[in-house]
Amino acid sequence: LIVVLDACRADKLSCYGFNRATTPYIDQLADDANSVVFGRHYAQSTWTKPSTASLFTGLLPYQHGINRKYRQVQGGRFETQILAAEIKTLAEELQELGYSTFAVARNLHLSAVNGFAQGFSAYHDPETIRGDRGALRIFTETLRQARGKVFGYLHVMACHNPFPPRRRSSEYLTAYGFDYDEAARKKVGIDFTGSGLRQAIRGRRITFDEADVRFLHLVYEAMLHQVDARIVRVLLEGIRSSGRYDNALIILTADHGEELYDHGGYAHMHALWEEVIRVPLIVKFPANRKPRVLPRDVTEITSSVDLYPSILALLDSAVSRNLPGRDIFHSHHAPAVLSEGASEMRNHEWALIRANEKLIETSQGPLLFGLLHDPTESTNLASKDPAGVRRMRALAEKLRKRHPPWRKRAPVVEIDLPSSAIERMKKLGY
Ligand SMILES: [Zn+2]
């Protein structure tokens, strides 16, 4: 079972060292005797569509070619990039191994028209699902009725912005809230409940003061706390009551994180900072199947493309293709991780992380950070260490040569989006 919490950044989870009790139920999963926490896990991109495509195919974004938003042709007609049919997905592999496969995907980028349903015998499209709790109901009910070997994929909107009051945990706000006049700030354009905030920040129409930043972090944490209590708790109960918990491989992760003004930005897509690409990865193995070589906490870097080969290796099924990921359930060798920004936002283009070194290539030049001493990426070492930049660039080049694109670009089709979908996209800031 793969569970993706949209826009969930790793550093806010209590089991990832956050100093407040944001995620007691995720922590329970992490504390299971058969669980492993991958402490430095990265998403392959800064937004849902390319990142999930990488998770599904085991390919890097430039390999599967998906990295563009819906493009309006005219009226309700849009051009969309789709996951190429000839690329084999994890669901297709598992189907061939005799698994019945189903997915419940709430994010509009993951519509079946975009090719994400490949390999799923049942695919519950974003348009047909009512809220995260609706998604959860379908998921647990399908699981309860399933017979034999099952692969289930659940993608909930979880921590995705905006942050309306009904999605914030009141329990969390009571415990950690502080005096802040949200209504007054809304009047000057600082509105955490709407979708215009990112554009307003990028257009320099507003700037945050210290209290705004503190409050933004608070509401994000309150959302996460609510997701933990209302989604993760119920999900784990549902898996238990289906009788499958003990024997299940449960993978909990995210497609990307979220910028909360840590570097002066908001939301996700346009930057490759740690808060955007470092996501949780908690793996609960079936009883007695946890590989002995794995410590409880893995400190080496891993990334989403590693899941495809790792899951197949656990099932003793070899991957015939040359994939960029590796079996992280059995190997300790930690190479470099590549993550890509959105192609329409020519700002942060790609990032390479190796051990504690991180290079972000931007349209204004390289950013080089030493994550061990500078985990918040505050000091750019690029001009001080040009050799380091050259070394990281050469390594990225080598990786790209070793793993060429599957095709030049992802196939594109024209579709009609219902007005409800267009409205929802706008609300989500797309
Ligand atoms: Zn997402």
Ligand 1 center–CA 6 separation, angstroms: 5
Stretch 263-275: mean pLDDT, rounded? 93
Stretch 5-10: mean pLDDT, rounded? 98
pLDDT beyond 90 at 321 = no
pLDDT at residue 101, as a whole number: 98
pLDDT at residue 411, as a whole number: 92
pLDDT beyond 80 at 208 = yes
pLDDT at residue 196, as a whole number: 85
Q: What are the CB-based long-range contacts (under 8 Å, 24+) for 211-214?
A: 211/180, 212/185, 212/261, 213/260, 213/261, 214/178, 214/180
250, 251, 252, 253: CA torsion to nearest 10: -170
pLDDT at residue 136, as a whole number: 97
Ligand 1 center–CA 254 separation, angstroms: 8
pLDDT beyond 70 at 238 = yes
- Distance CA(29)–CA(250), nearest Å, equals 9
Three-state secondary structure call for residue 22: coil
Stretch 202-220: mean pLDDT, rounded? 93
122-131, 142-151, 192-201, 249-258: which has the minimum mean pLDDT? 192-201
Ligand 1 center–CA 283 separation, angstroms: 20
pLDDT at residue 346, as a whole number: 64
pLDDT at residue 365, as a whole number: 94
pLDDT at residue 45, as a whole number: 97
pLDDT at residue 420, as a whole number: 86
173-182, 200-209, 396-405: which has the minimum mean pLDDT? 200-209
Buried b / exposed e over 33-49, threshold 16 CB at 10 Å, is ebbbbbbbbbbbbbbbb
Stretch 281-306: mean pLDDT, rounded? 94
pLDDT beyond 80 at 344 = no
CB 226 within 8 A of CB 170: no
Q: What percent of the chain has pLDDT above 70?
A: 99
Mean pLDDT of the chain: 94
Stretch 367-379: mean pLDDT, rounded? 97
pLDDT at residue 199, as a whole number: 84
pLDDT beyond 80 at 215 = yes
Ligand 1 center–CA 268 separation, angstroms: 8
Stretch 357-383: mean pLDDT, rounded? 97
Stretch 190-206: mean pLDDT, rounded? 87
Ligand 1 center–CA 161 separation, angstroms: 10
pLDDT beyond 90 at 19 = yes
- Distance CA(97)–CA(91), nearest Å, equals 10
Q: Higher-confidence residue: 206 or 346? A: 206
Q: List the shell of residues around ion ligand 1, using CB closer than 5 Å.
A: 6, 48, 255
Ligand 1 center–CA 409 separation, angstroms: 21
Ligand 1 center–CA 258 separation, angstroms: 9
pLDDT at residue 69, as a whole number: 87
Q: Higher-confidence residue: 200 or 6? A: 6
pLDDT beyond 80 at 407 = no
Ligand 1 center–CA 26 separation, angstroms: 19
Ligand 1 center–CA 104 separation, angstroms: 14
pLDDT at residue 427, as a whole number: 82
Closest CA to 11 of 369, 375, 305, 379: 375
- Distance CA(345)–CA(156), nearest Å, equals 25
Ligand 1 center–CA 159 separation, angstroms: 9
The top-scoring range by mean pLDDT among 65-79, 129-143, 413-427 is: 129-143
